Chains A and B, each alone.
Chain A
C-alpha cells in the first residue's frame, strides 16, 4: 500500500475543461513533487515544493498550475490542456534536503480529448 495517495486514478477531460489532480501524504515529508510520465518513457520532473514553497519549475506550460495548500497536500490545476498532455501524472514526497528517497503515489492517468 502506498503512503502517498493520488486522486482521481483516471481522468478524462476536454480541451476546454478545468480540472484538478490531488495528492496527499501523511509521512511528515516537507518536499513534494509532480512528475509527468508518457508511455514507455521515464518520469519527467515538473514541479518541486519545499516547505510549501515552489522551488523548482521545469519550464512547465502555464496551463499546469501547482498549489501546495499545506505540508500534506499538493494539487495540480489543469486548464486548456492539449491531447499531447495525456499521460500518467505522478506525485511524490520526500524529506527536504539532499539524498532523501522519493515516495510515489500510484498516479493519475489523464486523457485529454
Chain B
C-alpha cells in the first residue's frame, strides 16, 4: 500500500513568516491532493497536482509536485492566523479511487 510521510509533524510560526510542508510517498505519485482540516471538522480541498513539475497556487498557498523525488511541497507565504490547522496530503493508489492520506502537519500561527 502507498504510504505518505509528512514533515514536519508540527510547526509554530510567527504571523507573516513563510513556511513549507513536505509530503513524501513510498511509491510513484500519479497525482496528489492537499487538504486542510480544522480540529473535529471535515477536510477542505486546497488543490490537486497531476503532473511532475506542476505548480499551483491559491491565494498565498503554493504547491509543487516532484515526481522523480516522489515528493510534494506546500508553501505558505506571509502566514496568517487563518492558515492554522492540520494540513494533509493525499494520493490515489494507482487510480482505484483508494485515496490515502499522509501523517499530517499541525500548523499554529502566532499573532
Hey, which bits of chain A sit against chain B, CB under 8 A? 2, 4, 31, 33, 40-43, 45, 48, 50, 55-56, 88, 90, 92, 94, 96-107, 109
Contact = CB atoms under 8 A, between A and B. Distances in A.
Contact of A103 (B41, B45, B95, B102): B45
Interface string B48-61: 10100000000000
B98 interface: yes
Given A42-B104, A43-B101, 6 more contacts: A33-B99, A42-B101, A56-B97, A96-B97, A104-B44, A106-B41
Interface in B9-45: 30-31, 33, 35, 40-45
A90 B42 contact: yes
A98 B31 contact: yes
Nearest to B106: A40
Contact of B95 (A41, A56, A98): A98
Contacts of A50: 97
A91 B102 CA distance: 18
Interface of B: 30-31, 33, 35, 40-45, 48, 50, 88, 90, 92, 95-104
Contacts of B95: 98-99
A102 B42 CA distance: 11
A43 B97 CA distance: 15
A101 B97 contact: no
A55 B42 CA distance: 23
Contact of A45 (B33, B88, B98, B103): B98
Contact of B100 (A45, A100, A106, A109): A45
Contact of B43 (A31, A43, A109): A43
B92 A99 contact: yes
Nearest to B103: A42
Contact of B33 (A31, A41, A101): A101
A16 B50 CA distance: 46
A100 B96 CA distance: 11
In the A-B complex, the 7 residue pairs with the smallest Cβ-Cβ separation, listed nearest first, are A98-B95, A104-B42, A42-B101, A99-B31, A106-B42, A104-B43, A101-B45
